[in-house]
Amino acid sequence: MARHLPTPVPAPPLALTARELGVLVRNARARAQLRIDDAAALAGVSSDLLSRLEHGKAVGSDKLLAVLSSLGLAMLVTDKRRADRLVSQLIREENRDE
């Protein structure tokens, strides 16, 4: 059976839930045009783990950080009150770059 690449879906660059984080990871994989098995190998994790992450299931923090790094992503921990302002700023910058 042929494996297909995912299509990115609109999502703000803020994850407050595991499901939202999964969408961001899947979108990054889609933009990199990586199949799940190739992305998992790049991160040094199993395809099953990456699938669980993309579907909002729990994974270990070490594996999460490995996946984020392999896809060129980073995790920023900040006060929730600042998050909305930071997201708005990021979206403005992204729109300006397009």
Instruction: Write down all domains in the chain, each with its CATH number in brackets.
Output: 18-97 (1.10.260.40)
The string of pLDDT tens digits covering residues 31-52 is 999 999 999 999 999 999 999 9
| DSSP per position, 31-80 | HTT--HHHHHHHHTS-HHHHHHHHTT----HHHHHHHHHHTT-------H
Q: What is the pTM of this model?
A: 0.85
Residues 6+ apart with CB under 8 A from 18: 56, 57, 58
Read off the tokens for 33. Answer: 């045009």
The string of pLDDT tens digits covering residues 51-98 is 999 999 999 999 999 999 999 999 989 898 898 888 888 888 888 876
